[in-house]
Amino acid sequence: MGLLDKIKEIEFEMSRTQKNKATEFHFAIMKSRLAKLRSQLLEPPKKTGPSEGFDVIKHGDARVSLIGFPSVGKSTILNLFTDTNSEVNPRDFTTLKCIPGVLKYNNCNIQLLDLPGIIEGASEGKGKGRQVIAVAKSSDLILIILDALKYEEQKNIILHELDAVGIRLNRTKPNIIVKNTAGGGIQLMSPYKLTKVTLEDVKAVCKEYRINNAQVTFKDDYEIDDLIDTLEGNRKYIKGLFVYNKIDTVCMEDVEYLANLPDSVVLSANCNYGNEYFLEKIWEYLGLVRVYTKKRGEQPDFSEPVVLRKNKGGFTVQSLVCNIHKDLLSNFKEAIVWGKSVKYCPQKCGLKHVLADEDVVEILKKSNK
């Protein structure tokens, strides 16, 4: 029996099993087995190079991927906001490879990737689904492009496919610590009252991963799926924004409803409706911090900021110094900061000081003496 057959068998068994307290233990075992099979399914083939048309080098200050069904307007959005010329055609599957473009906004270069249309079964490799998802996993933000007329079905399918391959949209990594011990079996600890898991569920999952002795600490009231994600260790927690395109084809009441949904923005790429707000939301969800540097006695350089990211060192002065040059860290004396992150301007700060967007920083080095 192949991997796909095993996955289908477990999914069928889970669909026909009623969820209640008596079946929680059985569900925990099935979920962990399903996660292990899906991870095996996504392992890249051995001794092969990068997929043709998908080996795009990271460029710019952040990477944003456009994911959606065929003919929802991904190529139109890429052409509208970048200088790239991606083919636009009413027929499906016009885009067959990853097409990059550069979105220039707030003095930053954001790499925008137009990916081929995703279909149901992409997590199993259908329609170049694995290549599309591999690129999406390397992104700082995923834009899920939806047709405003058919959004509900499209949204559910795409969320299912992304979840199946370990992409967790708009979720934080669970703070679960699994520490192997020499003996004593599985011990479950938490400073909170756990209402979603039991010790037996945790033991069942750990057994599937061949962990017989460990101290499992839940730092919050998590579910058993969060423990499985922790044990798998290959999950990607990425920001996601739902973009409802073609709003010129629906009534104003529907537009207002879609605009008020969580993590959503409405747009009409063909009619240029909502362009500026669309860019503002991308900027908000990327969470970039621009820092301008200056030399002693000179004006700041506002043309090229140093862009800091939360997942790439954070927003501290130390991250700024490392971005400029790693060797500068050993000679660092102090930083003089102007901006929103300090109480008064200028202010002397150390390496741990957290910078804010558009701060100006002058870095002082230790004297040779």
**Residue 152 in contact with residue 264, Cβ under 8 Å?**
no
Parallel, antiparallel or unpaired: strands 289-293 and 306-308: antiparallel
Tell me the two tokens of residue 156.
């559910």
Look up the pTM and report it. Answer: 0.82
Mark whether 66 and 163 lie in a shared domain. Answer: yes
Tell me the two tokens of residue 23.
């079946």
Mark whether 151 and 256 lie in a shared domain. Answer: yes
Mark whether 125 and 267 lie in a shared domain. Answer: yes
Band (pLDDT 50/70/90 cuts) for residue 233 is confident
The answer on pLDDT for 48 being more than 50 is no
DSSP string, 162-229: HHHTTEEET-PPP-EEEEE-SSS-EEEE-SS--SS--HHHHHHHHHHTT--SEEEEESS---HHHHHH
What is the predicted pLDDT for the residue at 339?
93
- Looking at the DSSP bridge assignments, the partners of residue 188 are 216
The CA distance from 338 to 336, in Å, is 7
The answer on pLDDT for 338 being more than 80 is yes
Band (pLDDT 50/70/90 cuts) for residue 256 is very high
The answer on pLDDT for 52 being more than 60 is no
Mark whether 350 and 211 lie in a shared domain. Answer: no
Quick check: is 264 in a domain?
A: yes
The CA distance from 114 to 119, in Å, is 15
| pLDDT tens sequence across 271-308 | 889 999 999 999 999 999 999 999 888 888 888 899 99
Mark whether 96 and 119 lie in a shared domain. Answer: yes
The answer on pLDDT for 49 being more than 50 is no
Question: Across residues 305-327, what is the average pLDDT?
Answer: 89
Mark whether 100 and 196 lie in a shared domain. Answer: no
Neighbours of 225 (CB within 10 A): 19
Mark whether 161 and 254 lie in a shared domain. Answer: yes
CA 193 to chain centroid: 29
Q: Which sign does the torsion angle of CA 159, 163, 167, 172 carry?
A: positive
Q: What percentage of residues in the chain have a pLDDT greater than 90?
A: 46
The CA distance from 34 to 39, in Å, is 9
The answer on pLDDT for 46 being more than 60 is no
Mark whether 269 and 151 lie in a shared domain. Answer: yes
Which residue range(s) make up the domain with 224?
A: 3-41+174-232
Quick check: is 81 in a domain?
A: yes
Tell me the two tokens of residue 98.
């990853």
**Residue 196 in contact with residue 226, Cβ under 8 Å?**
no
Tell me the two tokens of residue 352.
């741990």
Mark whether 206 and 106 lie in a shared domain. Answer: no
